[in-house]
Amino acid sequence: MMCLHVRLSLSSFYLIGMKRNKNGGESPGSSHSNSGTETKAECNSNKDHLNEAERKEEPEFSQKKLTILKSHGYIIGQSIGNGSYATVKLAFSEKHQSNVAVKIVSKKQAPADYLRKFLPRELEVVKGLRHKNIIRFLQAIETTHRVYIIMEFAVNGNLLEIIRRELNIDETRAKKWFKQMSEAVEYCHKNGVTHRDIKCENLLIDGENNIKLTDFGFSRKMPQQKSFLSETFCGSYAYASPEILRGIPYHPVLADIWSMGVVLFAMVFGRLPFDDSNYNVLLKQVQKKVRFPKQPTVSTRCRALITQILAPYRVRIHMPGILDDPWLQEEVMRSASEPESDAEKSGSETVTSDTDAVPVQLITKDILKSAAGSTSKNATAASMGKECTDEDTGVTEAEESIQDTKGRETDSESSDQT
């Protein structure tokens, strides 16, 4: 039986910290200072603001939840996202002196298969990932009725929001972000993990304007054998490879690479390459050579890389070829003479655990004011566990403008072997 779900991902709610213009629209940039330091007085002011937010909190967020999180050193602020069985809240970690995002999952309301299979799998995966371009997992707290997942907070929102604000990403920035995404995905693959839901919404931007891959809810660890194939449809139609859409066993590594190509296309052209409003049309489009719009102007080398990625799986470029591609190497050669930053010299950052200090961005008054405001319509529209029909999963006019895509899964594999 086909069962489609719309999931609530953390990335849908990293929408605060952005300036708003007089018309209420978002403009590029953050009102948050990226200096990484605050005075003791400023930190105390942040805590006071959060404590005030607690007193104004919605009734359903009970005192018991506050007590549990307080006992672990988290001062909880306003909700920054809600779904049918999860809430995401802004919080301040007293231990780390940094802002964090807390995803609160209700065991009572969450689907049984999510609690039994996908949530444990996600936690197992994120605990073992240590890369500077992957959002940091900090801690998981489980009680009788809830699971609390504490993650790094990315202040500059997600990639989809940036594309919508700026219409498209200039090629220099797109190259940087695509390279960072590629390195994060390559790291996952080398460690036996496939993401299976790579899309613009699941790529966050931190205070230093670096990409952070997030939302490993559909991820899985791969067996050792290279011939491993998956049969579960994961992710979003607009980012799904032809083999997934055809419903045939597929290699999840190559499926991740296809999704990366869709992201790159979306960045430089400001639209999705395929129209996912109609399944039959989509299936025909993905099996043909990708077509590029006339505007904006994109370099021949960038288009060539996209073409190699959005290709049939038998000839699709692999990760080493992507990282060695002339388009990406242009930037490497250009920046070779530039001095390395301290972060680059130290290599990949260590993923934080409950006992590690985490150098993430500190909360400021502007961020807290933004968090206390209304949530983005796109964020609040997301609903975990909502069953979808074909009518409400389509995205219209995908060729004209990039839209939100909803995570969906068809569970065609057997139980825990998926």
Enzyme catalytic residues: 197
Give the dihedral sign, CA 370/10/58/380. positive
Minimal CA–CA distance to 9: which of 69, 81, 78?
Answer: 81
**In contact, 93 and 69? CB cutoff 8 Å:** no
Give the whole-angstrom CA distance, residue 329 versus residue 335. 10
Q: Which two tokens stand for residue 378?
A: 């796109």
CB hemisphere CA count around 311 (13 angstroms): 12
Contact 80, 371 (CB under 8 A): yes
DSSP H or E stretch at residue 417: none
Identify which of 12, 250, 234, 13 has the alpha carbon closest to the alpha carbon of residue 121. 234
Residue pair 151/136 in contact (Cβ under 8 Å)? The answer is yes
SS (H, E, C) 122-187: HHHHHHCCCCCCECCEEEEEECCCEEEEEEECCCCCEHHHHHHHHCCCCHHHHHHHHHHHHHHHHH
CB-CB neighbours of 331 under 10 Å: 15
Cβ(198)–Cβ(185) under 8 Å? yes
Tokens of 296: 């904006």
103 is in an annotated binding site: yes
Annotated binding residues, as ranges? 103
Annotated binding residues for ATP, as ranges? 103
